[in-house]
Amino acid sequence: MSKVRQELKTIEVLPNLTGVIIFGVAFAIRFILFQFSNITEILGNRVEIVTPVTSFTRLTEGLYLFDNGVPPYDGGAFHQAPLFLACFQLLSYLPNILIPLTYIIADLLIAYLLANITRIKQHLYKDFPRIDVELYEGKPKEIDPWIVSGLYLFNPLTVASCLSRSTLLFTNLSVVLGTYYSLRNNKSYGMFWIAMATYLSFYPLMLVIPSILMLTNNTNLKGKKIENEVYSCAGLYIGWLTGLFILSYLLVDSWDFMQSTYGVILLLPDLTPNIGLFWYFFIEMFDQFRSFFLVVFQLHAFIFVVPISIKFRNHPLFVVFLLSGIMAVFKSYPSIGDASLYLAFLPIYSEIVKYMRYNYLTTNIFCYCSILSPIFYHLWIYAGSGNANFFYAITLVYTVGNIILLVDSTFSMLRREFDIWNPELRHCEITQK
Amino acid sequence: MRNYLRSLFLFTLVFLTINGILAESRQPDKFKEALTIKPLSDGKLLTHFQFSVKHYGYKEGVVFSHYNFFPRAIGQIFQTYNVRELHLTFTQGRWNYEDWGYPFVPSAGTGVELWAWLWKDGKLDENWKSLTNALAGLFCASLNFIDDTITVQPKLSFRPEGPFNITELTERAELRYGSLPHENVCTENLTPWIKLLPCKSTSGIASLLNGHKLYDSNFHSMSIHVQPSCEEPDCINQQLEIIQTVSTVIDPVRNSGKRDWSLNNVFGRRLSQACPLAEESNLEIIIPEDGDYKIIPDADDIIQRSMDDTDDVEKKIAVYNLKKIEPDTELSMIWNEDQFEYNFNPVQPRIFAHRFFTGYGQERGGIKVNIFNKSPNISIPIIYYDVIPWYLKLYLHTLKVQINGKNTKLDAVNPIKDLYFQPAVDRSRPNVIEAEMLLPPNSLTTLSIKFDKVFLKYTEHPPDANRGFDIGSGIISTGKIDNDFLSNSTNMSLVTKKSLVEYMYFPIRIYTETLLVSLPTPDFSMPYNVITLTCTVIALFFGSMFNLITRSFVAFIDAGEEKAKKKIDSDKSNVQKGEKKDFDGENFDSDKSNVQKEENRDFDREKTKLEAEKTIDNN
């Protein structure tokens, strides 16, 4: 079966007219919009788009302090990984245009990798049984990988997140790279990029398990023991992560950054509103219960990793989708950039869409939130005619919308599989045990 | 002979030492009091009380327990917490620099300001904390709220007011500074303050301190300074000095439309006898240079003296010696005018400043400071010092300097010569900006910086959350320009090379306005609702996901259909065996065998049931 592996290494999505048009237009839109500095300014200040741990303003501040010899992690403003300092310091020596270009290229790279991931996924599922309706003249209907890129690139959430210069983009890029290399059975790169994503924003830690699942999928074919493979993956991951930490230590010459980045993500000292559940909950929380609920909320985000990975052990890519969805909703500082990542994974599994029951509802909820959240925030903060509950209500609706989408797609995946293995039960009433 | 000489020598030495100790302890504390009254250019009247007690024979680090006039309450606090210098000021209202010039002593910004030099003894921070608490108890003020989030260590702005040796000081002592801009000052603070005076308020000028009149004023400031002092230039014998001052600015024009005043209508009391314990007890009136007025009765003496550090102009002062004055004397000043005409062009001080917020909304904003240098041809060095609480997150990269409205980017014209910035840490320390600047002649220098407002926990808001939070004054330190500096200031490069702080002393402090910032508030009635709603949403996800993961799908099948289905099943398994394939190396046959096993088990059960439930592990 080494042929499969060989194929995996070489499989590549071929450029076609659709692809070229999609990437060209996506680049043009971003490039033109980046020229309007007030658009990037406005988007870069929106609480829905940037959070204290991804804000470009705060990165600039950290960089300014770093350049002027003030320890950047000594203050309470900068909460991003030290490598950003090094990279953006380098960028600051180069022409100004490079910063927007970096963001645009990172976004396009994500889209390109998504197309490749789609192609690999289609290759892997080539021989997987299907239900009849998915076949068209005996061949399965597949989504064009470039459409997957297009859906990512033209998602308004992605565009807004890219234009806001949120550093979350680089976490997303690392996640997608990690997934891509894991699917290609490139253990070292796969683990490196997952370690990088973890290093940049901590939560992608949970993606280690699906990545290992992807990497160990065909070990028994190579005659290696699965345990050894898992250990070597975990070892690589820990090695890369330690390497990144040591590099950061050498860069800023203190371990303060651990407290200032991961400490902030875990302990939530900054209660700036975002579209997640944490901020208002912990603004309103009674002091004596704060630590308890903090532990519960953070555990809740991580608690799904193992059960989902077990349930969908044959579909590690779907696990990546679900876990990034869970991250996007239940992380401590979520933004729409997180949602754009997991929404990008959804069309890869386009076959489950017809099983989804609440598409209309979730679409409406996303539209409703996109319109009302800036309005309600304005009413609270600027007009003073509304209070914090207005914005809080919208974050609740947004979260519920995401939850419905995640649960619905999980349901569809399971239901479709049930139908595949039980075609004879198609006319029966199906419920849960 | 040698023995004799030695014993004589020893005896002399012992005698001299004992004599010295006795002489030292014999020298009593000295108490001086003075009341200075100055008509200000806008018709208001400044009254400034100053009481000072000197304790002789003070040695740093040597505890003394014999108190004469020196207040025991202060002395004990001072010694217990290893304080070197202590400055505490209670202020209400704002000193109006443009109309009133500089005050006699540095007036503090609105609220309470406390700063102290403490000896490094291993528990300095503990001592500072105890000191604030002890003073809070002594003066009935909320000084105990000066905690870590407020305390700062200014690097440049504050120097000891008493004699000091800079190297010794930086090695052995540290400065702590805290201010509470929201603190209201009233009679409950004045009463303990008066109790520290040797004569209390029974006699002397302290008898004029009438709370009702004192707090009915445009500005009042009450302070205590405890510091070592020297009488000789070489400073061998130190004294411990306590200076207590009260300054008030009263508006006589408000009542009568005229500037006329008398002690009785200013303080509601007449002057009784001098405090018998006072060595000196004077009342001084600074005589305006122009205007038609008379002071009744005539002064005992008229002297000339320069009053503040920036002003070299000597002023005429009418001095009344209270030791000689008749009891119940009414002192008054009468202007020959029908109505006071406001002076629209007052003589402005050299440096003054205004500070204000920019921006709108409760999310972010900016601070702007306008610093004026009115001197026509000299550049003036200043130190700008500002403490911004942690709930405003300053972005240093947004700091901009403008001179007369023009941006300065070139280093040559940048008035900031050195900048010290301490970024805030949430809930533990404030932002501190200290900038050494050189203000060009006749200029307006504008500093601006942007900030984000922090969203506080609902328990961190005060009960009157929508009133907002007070931000303490920014402080500009400046001083008399000495000739050395003037001669060098033409050579700007020298100034930029050398730190201004080493270069000169900055005794004048100019306080900007305090500011009020409103932070975004949550809905204070919501804790239970938020906990309930958020937890419901989380439970919604957890429940649905858990449900999907743990429960598998089941089909309801009629018994009649069952036979037909079994046939299909067997067909299906045959087909599947034929086309069994690996999916990326994962064997799907394990799934199939599970299905088969389940079906067999179910089939046994179905024999006894009419309608059966069939379960298939679809995994």
Is B549 an interface residue toward A (CB < 8 Å)?
yes
Kindly report the average pLDDT of chain B as a whole number.
Answer: 81
Among all residues of chain A, which has the CA nearest to that of B590? A314
Among all residues of chain B, which has the CA nearest to that of A79? B425
Q: What is the full DSSP assignment across B554-603?
A: EEEE-HHHHHHHHHHHHHHHHHHHHH--EETTEESHHHHHHHHHHHHHHH
**Short-list B465, B449, B445, CA closest to B457:** B465
HEC sequence for B250-306: ECHHHHHCCCCEEHHHHHCCCECCCCCCCCEEEEEEECCCCCCEEEECCCCEEEEEC
Q: What is the pLDDT of residues A227-252, one digit of tens each?
A: 888 999 999 999 999 999 999 999 99
Out of A76, A124, A311, name the one closest to residue B425 (CB). A76
Confidence check: pLDDT of A158 > 60: yes
More confident residue, B611 or B55: B55
Mean pLDDT of A62-75: 90
What local confidence, expressed as pLDDT, does residue B112 receive? 93
Place of tokens 């100034």: B495
> Do A284 and B530 count as a contact with CB atoms less than 8 A apart?
yes
H helices of A55-206, in order, are: 56-67, 82-93, 98-124, 145-153, 156-163, 168-183, 187-201
| CA of B418 vs chain A CAs: smallest distance (Å) | 12
Specify the 3-state DSSP secondary structure of B513: coil
> Cα torsion for A254, A255, A258, A263, to the nearest 10°?
-100
Specify the 3-state DSSP secondary structure of A125: coil
- Show me where the domains of chain B are located: 2-335, 351-517, 552-615
Confidence check: pLDDT of B358 > 70: yes
Residue A431 lies in a domain: no
Mean pLDDT of A404-431: 89
C-alpha span between A116 and A123 (Å, rounded): 10
What local confidence, expressed as pLDDT, does residue B529 receive? 94
Q: Please list every residue in chain A whose beta carbon sits closer than 8 Å to the beta carbon of residue B541.
A: 329-330, 403, 406-407
Residue A228 lies in a domain: yes
What local confidence, expressed as pLDDT, does residue B396 receive? 92
Confidence check: pLDDT of B614 > 50: no
Place of tokens 């601070």: B367
DSSP tally for chain B: helices H, then strands E: 15, 29
A47 DSSP 8-state letter: T
Confidence check: pLDDT of A104 > 90: yes
For residue B32, what is the enclosing H or E element?
strand B30-39
Confidence check: pLDDT of B80 > 80: yes
Confidence check: pLDDT of B587 > 50: no
Mean pLDDT of B560-565: 57
Determine the residue among A85, A404, A422 to mutate to test chain B binding: the one whose Cβ has the most chain B Cβ atoms within 10 Å: A422
What local confidence, expressed as pLDDT, does residue B582 receive? 39
Q: What is the pLDDT of residues B279-309, one digit of tens each?
A: 989 899 998 887 888 888 888 888 887 765 5
DSSP tally for chain A: helices H, then strands E: 22, 3
Specify the 3-state DSSP secondary structure of B471: strand
What pTM was computed for the model? Answer: 0.86
Confidence check: pLDDT of B445 > 50: yes
Residue A432 lies in a domain: no
> Do B527 and A388 count as a contact with CB atoms less than 8 A apart?
no
Q: What is the pLDDT of residues A21-56, one digit of tens each?
A: 999 999 999 999 999 889 999 999 999 999 999 999
Q: What is the full DSSP assignment across A222-272?
A: HT--HHHHHHHHHHHHHHHHHHHHHHHHHHHSSTHHHIIIIIHHHH-----
Confidence check: pLDDT of B113 > 60: yes
| CA of A129 vs chain B CAs: smallest distance (Å) | 9
Q: What is the pLDDT of residues A8-19, one digit of tens each?
A: 667 777 788 989
> Do A403 and B521 count as a contact with CB atoms less than 8 A apart?
no
Q: Which band of pLDDT confidence, cut at 50, 70 and 90, is reported for residue B417?
A: confident
What local confidence, expressed as pLDDT, does residue B300 receive? 84
Specify the 3-state DSSP secondary structure of A55: coil
Q: Please list every residue in chain A whose beta carbon sits closer than 8 Å to the beta carbon of residue B556.
A: 428-429, 431
Beta carbons within 8 Å of A39's beta carbon, 6+ residues apart: A33, A163
Q: Which band of pLDDT confidence, cut at 50, 70 and 90, is reported for residue A341?
A: very high
Q: Please list every residue in chain B whose beta carbon sits closer than 8 Å to the beta carbon of residue A124.
A: 583-584
Q: What is the full DSSP assignment across B40-54?
A: -TTS-EEEEEEEEEE
Least confident span in A86-90, B96-100, B577-581: B577-581
Q: What is the pLDDT of residues A373-394, one digit of tens each?
A: 999 999 999 998 999 999 999 9
Mean pLDDT of B389-415: 84
Mean pLDDT of B171-200: 91
Q: What is the pLDDT of residues B146-180, one digit of tens each?
A: 999 999 999 888 888 877 777 778 888 999 999 99
Is B393 an interface residue toward A (CB < 8 Å)?
yes
Mean pLDDT of B8-27: 57
Out of B364, B556, B618, name the one closest to residue A422 (CB). B618
For residue B355, what is the enclosing H or E element?
strand B351-358
What local confidence, expressed as pLDDT, does residue B589 receive? 41
Confidence check: pLDDT of B575 > 60: no
> Do A396 and B553 count as a contact with CB atoms less than 8 A apart?
no
Provide the residue range defining the domain that includes A277: 2-425
B390 touches B149 (CB < 8 A): yes
Place of tokens 């002592």: B173
Residue A433 lies in a domain: no
Residue A38 lies in a domain: yes
Place of tokens 């504390």: B29
What local confidence, expressed as pLDDT, does residue B460 receive? 92
What local confidence, expressed as pLDDT, does residue B115 receive? 93
Name the CATH topology of B351-517: Immunoglobulin-like (2.60.40)
Determine the residue among B466, B526, B584 to mutate to test chain A binding: the one whose Cβ has the most chain A Cβ atoms within 10 Å: B584
What local confidence, expressed as pLDDT, does residue B409 receive? 66
What local confidence, expressed as pLDDT, does residue B588 receive? 42
B478 touches B510 (CB < 8 A): yes
**Short-list B185, B181, B107, CA closest to B139:** B185
Out of A58, A307, A429, name the one closest to residue B555 (CB). A429
Mean pLDDT of B364-389: 91
Confidence check: pLDDT of B379 > 60: yes
Q: Which band of pLDDT confidence, cut at 50, 70 and 90, is reported for residue B418?
A: confident
> Do B541 and A77 count as a contact with CB atoms less than 8 A apart?
no
C-alpha span between B42 and B257 (Å, rounded): 12
| CA of A21 vs chain B CAs: smallest distance (Å) | 33
Residue A321 lies in a domain: yes
> Do A407 and B586 count as a contact with CB atoms less than 8 A apart?
no
**ipTM given for this complex:** 0.94
> Do A433 and B459 count as a contact with CB atoms less than 8 A apart?
no
Q: What is the pLDDT of residues B215-263, one digit of tens each?
A: 989 999 999 999 988 887 777 788 899 999 999 999 999 888 888 999 8
CB atoms within 10 A of CB A409: 24
CB atoms within 10 A of CB A296: 13
Kindly report the average pLDDT of chain A as a whole number.
Answer: 91
What local confidence, expressed as pLDDT, does residue B497 receive? 39
Confidence check: pLDDT of B599 > 60: no
**Short-list A87, A381, A409, A387, CA closest to A248:** A87
What local confidence, expressed as pLDDT, does residue B592 receive? 43
Confidence check: pLDDT of B114 > 90: yes
> Do A218 and B584 count as a contact with CB atoms less than 8 A apart?
yes
Domain count, chain A: 1
Tokens representing B537 are: 């949403």
Q: What is the pLDDT of residues B525-562, one digit of tens each?
A: 989 999 999 999 999 999 999 999 998 888 877 655 55
HEC sequence for B193-258: HHHCCCCCCCCHHHHHCCHHHHCCCCEEEEEEEEEEEECCCCCCCEEEEEEEEEEEEECHHHHHCC
Tokens representing A399 are: 């979260």
Mean pLDDT of A320-334: 95
B359 touches B339 (CB < 8 A): no
Beta carbons within 8 Å of B407's beta carbon, 6+ residues apart: B400, B401
Q: Which band of pLDDT confidence, cut at 50, 70 and 90, is reported for residue A224?
A: confident
Tokens representing B253 are: 């024009």
Mean pLDDT of B507-518: 91
